[in-house]
């Protein structure tokens, strides 16, 4: 877990409220009456997952990818067809035919209709049933109805191009890989948002603690100013010492105001990450309930470089893209083949002057009809398919290079982050000791001033050094927590170690 405990940070809310109220613009009555909101880090992470607008945008991509899967599955949907056509035709006759019966032309009227259903399969085979009828009326039958009907089975099976499940399921499998890639990209964005929430939360903790430090420093300066005023009345303090104390108190008050601004900005940064309604949320200042805890020993296995390659979602997304590229190469290679289809049909014929009787004769199965054959199609040059195949191979080459580059980048990020964790931990320990010594030195110098063997200037300087040492200690502790977050982010384990469960 990220080392952040559920402890109440000792923040002087009563002291901060007047400053916050003076800095904020007028709010509506209902908003103005709202009080501060206590917020734990775990709750901030949960709220970010629920309301962060960047994540809301990223959630759309997996849903869009799902529509591509549905579109690819539609290739195996059954198909229904219905055709109907009416035609009239007048054909001239040869002179000998005209001389024989006196008819200069033959007129005909044709009405045809058909209905059918077919089912594609993953093998590429298309099986169907169909029924059709044609009513031919012409000069020779005195335009009487004459229905020719047929009903039977149809089959088309590709032998080269579009043959087999590899070719026919390629688009569906590519769409599935696209959905998996989109999911990984979304989860990678989740990790980034969680890291931003951690950083913003820790920065707010630092800003609040730093304000407390500067307020304590201001109180010391004001107390020294009061003591100097009293000593001047007694004639034991020079006007210069009094002026120095007043100047230092004014300078430290300016630092308090600046620290309050830093708190407001940190609160806004965190609020922006955990809500989709910034205007409503800003009326209730965030008060973190967690604390910046001292560093704890980190097991060496937690610094393993391999964790990044095993868990990083951006790396996983590239792996899914590489798998999709392999499928695309196989598909485009199949499309280079000429089309050679086996076609066949078997059914029964019927003929009668009545449509019903025509189909009754079909049902009698006395007049079968069938055919079998091959259909060949060879595109000249096949340049388009060759270009698509070459493009698929180049895309795979690009993806492999990006994978290699991402591997190196992940290893670099994990190694740098691990070194930063160790470095900031050591900096904190050094700054903690420096702060303790600085505070002890300042306290001792104040006692010397009371005994008359030191100067106000020296005491003020040592107080400032002690406050700066405390700020430096807080900054190094904050940097340690942020470095640990960056390490977990680089390793791709930030979400599970933060105790959150994620779904797109």
* Mean pLDDT, the chain, integer: 87
Report residue 15's pLDDT band, with 50, 70 and 90 as the boundaries.
very low
Report residue 279's pLDDT band, with 50, 70 and 90 as the boundaries.
confident
Contact 461, 442 (CB under 8 A): no
Bridge partners (DSSP) listed for residue 89: 108
Q: Please spell the DSSP secondary structure of 70-133, one letter per residue.
A: HHHHGGGS-EEEEEEEEEEEEEE--HHHHHHH--SEEEEEEEEEEEEEEEE-TTS-EEEEEEEE
Percent of the chain with pLDDT over 90: 64
Contact 251, 218 (CB under 8 A): no
Q: 3-state DSSP call for residue 504?
A: coil
Pairing type for strands 79-92 and 37-39 reads: unpaired
Kindly state the tokens that stand for 169. Answer: 């399921």
Where does 235-312 have alpha helices with state H? Answer: 239-274, 278-281, 306-311
Contact 175, 72 (CB under 8 A): yes
**What is the structure's pLDDT at 139?**
80
Lowest-confidence range among 105-109, 368-372, 413-417?
105-109
Q: How many helices (H) and strands (E) does the chain have?
A: 16, 8
Contact 350, 148 (CB under 8 A): yes
Percent of the chain with pLDDT over 70: 90
What average pLDDT does range 487-503 have in this prediction? 84
Residue 230 reports pLDDT greater than 80: no
What average pLDDT does range 186-204 have in this prediction? 95
Nearest to 202 by CA among 212, 210, 190: 210
Report residue 149's pLDDT band, with 50, 70 and 90 as the boundaries.
very high
Report residue 347's pLDDT band, with 50, 70 and 90 as the boundaries.
very high
**What is the structure's pLDDT at 364?**
86
**What is the structure's pLDDT at 239?**
79
pLDDT tens by residue, 473-483? 999 999 999 99
A 10 A CB-CB count for 339 gives: 16
Which H/E stretch holds residue 394? Answer: helix 383-450
Q: Please spell the DSSP secondary structure of 180-201, one letter per residue.
A: HHHHHHHHHHHHHHHHHHHHHH
Residue 502 reports pLDDT greater than 90: no
Rounded Cα gap, residues 499 and 504, in angstroms: 17
Report residue 23's pLDDT band, with 50, 70 and 90 as the boundaries.
very low
**What is the structure's pLDDT at 429?**
95
Rounded Cα gap, residues 274 and 115, in angstroms: 59
pTM for this entry: 0.80
Say which residue the tokens 């980048």 belong to: 409
Residue 81 reports pLDDT greater than 70: yes
Report residue 93's pLDDT band, with 50, 70 and 90 as the boundaries.
confident
What average pLDDT does range 92-99 have in this prediction? 75
Contact 159, 176 (CB under 8 A): no
**What is the structure's pLDDT at 241?**
72
Q: Give the angle 335-337-341 at the CA atoms, nearest 5°.
A: 100
Give the domains, in start order, of the chain with CATH numbers.
Answer: 13-18+37-68+173-296+415-497 (1.20.1600.10), 81-160+340-383 (no CATH)
Report residue 281's pLDDT band, with 50, 70 and 90 as the boundaries.
confident
Lowest-confidence range among 140-149, 335-344, 486-495?
140-149
Rounded Cα gap, residues 472 and 428, in angstroms: 8
Residue 457 reports pLDDT greater than 60: yes
Q: Give the angle 355-357-362 at the CA atoms, nearest 5°.
A: 100
Report residue 245's pLDDT band, with 50, 70 and 90 as the boundaries.
confident
Report residue 235's pLDDT band, with 50, 70 and 90 as the boundaries.
low
In a 10 Å sphere around its CB, with 0-12 CB exposed, 13-18 middle and 19+ buried, how is residue 65 labelled? Answer: buried
Residue 65 reports pLDDT greater than 90: yes
What average pLDDT does range 70-99 have in this prediction? 88
**What is the structure's pLDDT at 4?**
42
Residue 456 DSSP symbol:
H
What average pLDDT does range 415-429 have in this prediction? 94
Report residue 16's pLDDT band, with 50, 70 and 90 as the boundaries.
very low
**What is the structure's pLDDT at 302?**
67
Report residue 34's pLDDT band, with 50, 70 and 90 as the boundaries.
low
Nearest to 422 by CA among 498, 490, 476, 472: 476
**What is the structure's pLDDT at 108?**
87
């Amino acid at each position: 877990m990220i080392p952040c405990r559920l402890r109440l940070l000792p923040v002087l809310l009563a002291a901060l409220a007047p400053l916050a109220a003076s800095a904020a613009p007028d709010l509506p009555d209902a908003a103005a009456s709202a009080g501060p909101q206590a917020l734990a880090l775990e709750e901030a992470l949960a709220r970010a997952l629920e309301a962060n607008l960047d994540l809301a945008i990223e959630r759309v991509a997996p849903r869009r990818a799902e529509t591509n899967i549905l579109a690819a599955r539609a290739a195996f949907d059954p198909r229904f067809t219905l055709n109907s056509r009416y035609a009239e035709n007048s054909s001239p006759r040869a002179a000998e035919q005209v001389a024989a019966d006196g008819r200069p032309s033959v007129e005909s009227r044709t009405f045809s209709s058909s209905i059918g259903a077919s089912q594609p399969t993953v093998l590429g085979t298309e099986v169907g049933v169909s029924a059709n009828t044609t009513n031919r009326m012409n000069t020779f039958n005195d335009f009487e109805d004459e229905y020719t009907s047929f009903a039977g089975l149809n089959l088309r099976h590709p032998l080269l191009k579009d043959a087999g499940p590899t070719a026919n399921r390629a688009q569906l499998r590519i769409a599935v890989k696209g959905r998996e890639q989109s999911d990984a990209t979304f989860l990678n964005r989740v990790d980034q948002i969680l890291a931003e929430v951690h950083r913003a939360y820790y920065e707010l903790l630092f800003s609040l603690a730093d304000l407390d430090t500067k307020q304590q420093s201001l109180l010391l300066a004001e107390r020294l100013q009061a003591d100097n005023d009293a000593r001047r009345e007694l004639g034991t303090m020079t006007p210069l010492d009094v002026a120095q104390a007043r100047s230092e108190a004014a300078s430290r008050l300016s630092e308090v105001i600046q620290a309050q601004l830093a708190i407001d900005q940190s609160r806004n940064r965190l609020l922006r990450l955990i809500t989709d309604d910034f205007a409503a949320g800003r009326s209730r200042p965030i008060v973190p309930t967690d604390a910046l805890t001292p560093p704890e020993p980190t097991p060496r296995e937690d610094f393993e470089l391999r964790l990044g390659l095993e868990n990083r979602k951006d790396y996983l997304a590239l792996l899914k893209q590489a798998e999709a590229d392999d499928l695309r190469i196989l598909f485009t290679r199949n499309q280079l083949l000429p089309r050679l289809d086996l076609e066949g049909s078997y059914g029964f014929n019927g003929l009668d002057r009545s449509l019903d009787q025509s189909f009754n004769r079909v049902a009698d199965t006395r007049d079968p009809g069938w055919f079998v054959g091959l259909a060949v199609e060879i595109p000249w040059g096949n340049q388009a398919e060759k270009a698509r195949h070459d493009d698929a191979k180049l895309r795979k080459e690009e993806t492999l290079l990006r994978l290699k580059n991402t591997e190196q980048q992940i290893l670099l990020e994990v190694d740098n982050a691990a070194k930063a964790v160790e470095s900031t931990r050591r900096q904190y320990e050094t700054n903690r000791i420096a702060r303790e010594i600085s505070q002890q030195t300042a306290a001792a110098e104040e006692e010397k001033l009371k005994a008359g063997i030191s100067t106000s200037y020296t005491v003020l300087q040592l107080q400032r050094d002690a406050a700066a040492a405390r700020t430096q200690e807080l900054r190094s502790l904050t940097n340690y927590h942020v470095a640990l977050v960056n390490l977990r982010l680089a390793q791709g384990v930030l979400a599970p170690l933060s105790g959150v469960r994620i779904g797109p």
